[in-house]
Amino acid sequence: MKLVNLSIAAAAVCVLSTSAYALKSEDRIVKGNYQIEYTKVPGEVNSITEMFTEGEVYGRLRSNMFWWDWENENSAVQDNNMWGLGGSLVYKTGYFHGFGATAGFYGTVPVHNDNTLGTGTTNYGKAGKDTYHTRADGSEGAMGNFAEAYLEYKNGKTNVKVGRQGIDSIMLATNDTKMIPNTFEAAVIENKDIPGTTLRAGYIMAQKLRDHQSFHSVIAYEKYNENDDSGVHKGLTPANIRSRGAGDVDPEMVLVTAQNTSVPNLKLNAEYVALNGFFNTAVAEANYKIKAGDSWTVTPGVRYLRQMDDGAGKIGGASLSGTVTAANAASKGYKNGDNVDGSIIMARLVAATGPLELSAGYSEVSDDADIIAPWRGFPTGGYTRSMAQVDWIANTKNWAVKAAYDFEKAGLVPGLKVAADYENMNFDDAKAATSGFTDRNIFHVDAWQTFKTLPNTEFKFRFATVDADPAVGATT
């Protein structure tokens, strides 16, 4: 399987994932984790009228093209390509006594596609599907919505947002790499009064995936209508939730995060996600930067994730496939079929000097349950996960190496940056028939190019190839 992605976007385009990379324009920075940092924002005003007259508008044009080439086509996978055109308009008001508002309209139109191949029921678009709205009949359509629409209050080092917004943490992410971001209907408060510390708490009511037109449950799985992301638990359907659990198809999520940098060169992160009646997840991470010689820095990092069952196991089972139960767990490779307790231990080493960054990472999932993470924040992100991969299935062992090089910083090619990674994923063979995942090797490369003659515009190229063992029972 090979994937090629070409894209061009203007006015603060999105970028791909290298930690040191950010695209800058005159009014914003798009970071390597896809968050937008606005460097020119409206300030305090003297009246409600001035809130709107002194507001700012931020525009973005985007184009994404995808080509998929499968070595063995079948009823589930077919060669395909697509091209989407779109963009966004984001309006921020001025702040009157600390109160302001933001509204962002995002849209995309499929210009060309050949994904359905006449079947009328199957969409073969895979990763490229986020360039358009995916519909139940397998076709694609234009999409436009107010993915962002929130009220905001600022008071000293405290910030409160209520409404539709992007949230970026270890487990949740805006992940704005295609055309429309992944956003949430939520109330979030952030405080930085403690020196070197950022505390945040969120109450999240709904989510809108990147290829969805409307907001929906953060956890219930239903193709096209509810959460159907690649990391979703397919056993947590509305029917199963109503019949086997507490019956709440739209549970609220509580998110608590903390970051501390008060110790020089040490960054500590902690996160807690709670879904009452389903499960709770706690994450702790530490990274420490060490100076090595005159120009090198070495940063070892560790992350530990613990998932604790609170009813999801009895509703949907231990596997993301939704097919494991207490009765059949042993035959499907799981120790406990109706419990989602599980964990991941991760470690990495990052070495950097000037334009070059190298890293090596390892992750190991406990032999318990699969990890549930359908919110575009990837549990192994930054350690092992490569593009479009789910490497947090129970008893999976992964290692990865990555390299990024800034040719402009090296004085070689203005505006050119390249990043590549290789991941080896070793799945539990006993679970392969259930999970659908098999051992694989992934090679992935990204390249970005900007030109001084085209300010605020970026071209990017992405290529990935996956060499995976045949699925259990496959005949081709």
List, as one string, the DSSP characters of 113-142. Answer: E--STT-SS----GGGGGGSEE-TTS-EE-
Query: Strand 23-24's sheet: what is its strand order?
Result: 23-24, 28-30, 36-38
Triad 166, 109, 386: Cα angle to 5°: 50
Residue 187 near residue 167, CB atoms below 8 Å: no
- Which residue shows structure tokens 């076709």? 139
Q: What is the pLDDT along the chain (476 residues), one digit of tens a residue?
A: 555 555 544 333 333 233 334 577 888 887 766 678 889 999 999 999 999 999 999 998 998 888 888 888 777 777 878 888 999 999 999 999 999 999 999 999 988 766 544 455 666 776 677 888 877 776 778 999 999 999 999 999 999 999 999 999 999 999 988 889 999 999 999 999 999 999 999 999 999 999 999 999 999 999 888 999 888 999 999 999 999 977 899 999 999 999 999 999 999 999 999 999 999 999 999 999 999 988 999 999 999 999 999 999 999 999 999 999 999 999 999 999 999 999 999 999 999 999 999 999 999 999 999 999 999 999 999 999 998 899 999 999 999 999 999 999 999 999 999 999 999 999 998 888 787 889 999 999 999 998 888 888 888 898 999 998 887 655 44
CB 259 within 8 A of CB 268: yes
- Environment class of residue 120 by beta-carbon count within 10 Å: exposed (0-12), middle (13-18) or buried (19+)? exposed
The structure tokens listed for 442 are 């992934």
Element (H, E) at 193: none
* Residue that the structure tokens 């390299």 belong to: 403
User: Domains of the chain, with CATH numbers?
Assistant: 2-468 (2.40.160.10)
Three-class SS state of 353: strand
Give yes or no for a contact between 332 and 323, defined as CB atoms under 8 angstroms apart.
Answer: yes
| pLDDT confidence of residue 2 | 59
Structure tokens at 137: 């009949």
Q: What number of other Cβ atoms are within 10 A of residue 154's Cβ?
A: 15
Beta strands in 70-123 (DSSP E): 80-92, 99-113
Write b or e for each residue in 217-239: b if 16 or more Cβ atoms lie within 10 A of its Cβ, otherwise e: bbbbbbebebbbbebbbbbbbbe
* Type of residue numbered 112: H
- 28-52 residues labelled b (16+ CB within 10 A) or e (exposed): bebbbbbbbeeeebbeebeeeebbe
pTM of the predicted structure, to 2 decimals: 0.91
What pLDDT score does 128 carry?
Answer: 73
Spatial CB neighbours of 175, under 8 Å, sequence gap ≥ 6:
34, 181, 182, 210, 376, 377
> Which two structure tokens, joined as six digits, stand for 84?
């989407």
Which is it for strands 23-24 and 2-10: parallel, antiparallel or unpaired?
unpaired
- 3-state SS, residue 431: helix
Backbone angles phi, psi at 452, to 5 degrees: -65, -30
111 CB burial (10 A radius; 0-12, 13-18, 19+): middle
- pLDDT for position 14: 33
Amino acid letter for position 63: S
pLDDT score of 122: 65
